[in-house]
Structure 1
Amino acid sequence: MTGTPLPPRGSFSVRPARPSDDALLVEGVGVEPVAWVASAQLREEMATGNYRLEWSWIAERDGRTIGRALWWGREDAGRPATLDCLWVADPADHPEDVGAALVRAGLDSFGPGPALEFNVDVDVDWPSDPAAVHAVRWRERAARAGGFRLTTERVSFARTDTDPRPGRSLRLSFAPAADDVFRSMFARVAAGSLDAHTLDMVAREGLDALAEDDLHFYLSLPGDRDAWQIATLRDGSTVGFIIPTRTAYDASISYLGVVPEHRGKGYVHDLLAEMVHVHHENGQHRIVGTADRANAPMRAAFTRAGFTVSRVRIVHEQ
Structure 2
Amino acid sequence: MITFRPIFVHELHAFAAVSTPTHRHQSIIDYVQEMFTKGAMRPEWCFILEREGVGIGRVAFWTLPGKDSPSDIVLLDLPWEDENGSELAELLWQHLLVTCRQMGVQQLGYVLDSPAMAPHWQDHAEQRQKILGNLGFHLQRETSRFEWKNNPGITSAPNVLPHMDERVIYRSLSEVGEIAFIDAIMRGSASTLDRQIAQERAEYGPLSQAQEIYQDLQGMSYEPDWWELAYTPDDQLIGFIIPTRSPTFATIGYIGVLPEFRGRGYVDLLLNRGLFSLVQAGESCIRTDTDLQNQPMANAFLRAGFHLFAQRSEYRFRSFG
SS at match of 1:59: strand
Q: Which runs of 5+ in 1 are unaligned?
A: 1-10, 125-130
Taking only aligned residues, the RMSD between alpha carbons, in angstroms, comes to: 3.2
1:172 aligns with 2:171: no
Which residue matches 1:121?
Answer: 113
Moved more, 146-155 or 208-217: 146-155
**In 2, Cα distance between the equivalents of 1:221 and 1:143?**
27
Please say if residues 189 and 259 of structure 1, whose CA atoms lie closer than 8 Å, have aligned partners that are also in contact: yes
Q: How does 1:183-202 map to 2 (within 5 A)?
A: 183-202=182-201
**In 1, Cα distance between the equivalents of 2:297 and 2:290?**
6
Normalization by structure 2: what TM-score?
A: 0.80
Question: Cα deviation per residue 1:220-257 (whole Å; 9 max; x = unaligned)?
Answer: 01222332111111111001111100122322111001
Moved more, 279-288 or 294-303: 279-288
1:46 aligns with 2:44: no
**In 2, Cα distance between the equivalents of 1:235 and 1:101?**
62
Closer, same or farther in 2 for the Cα pair 1:200/1:62, shift >3 Å? farther
1:159 aligns with 2:144: no
Amino acid in the other structure paired with 2:114: V
**In 2, Cα distance between the equivalents of 1:226 and 1:180?**
16
Amino acid in the other structure paired with 2:168: L
Closer, same or farther in 2 for the Cα pair 1:153/1:135, shift >3 Å? farther
Closer, same or farther in 2 for the Cα pair 1:277/1:189, shift >3 Å? same
Please state how far the C-alpha of 1:147 moved relative to its aligned partner. Answer: 4.4
1:65 aligns with 2:61: no
Please state how far the C-alpha of 1:305 moved relative to its aligned partner. Answer: 0.3
**In 2, Cα distance between the equivalents of 1:244 and 1:35?**
32
Moved more, 212-221 or 178-187: 178-187
**In 2, Cα distance between the equivalents of 1:222 and 1:54?**
24
**In 1, Cα distance between the equivalents of 2:45 and 2:202?**
31
**In 1, Cα distance between the equivalents of 2:231 and 2:90?**
47
1:140 aligns with 2:126: no
Normalization by structure 1: what TM-score?
A: 0.81
Closer, same or farther in 2 for the Cα pair 1:186/1:22, shift >3 Å? same
Identity %: 25
Question: Cα deviation per residue 1:34-71 (whole Å; 9 max; x = unaligned)?
Answer: 99961233244335533212322333344432211122
Q: Which runs of 5+ in 2 are unaligned?
A: 152-156
Closer, same or farther in 2 for the Cα pair 1:160/1:221, shift >3 Å? same
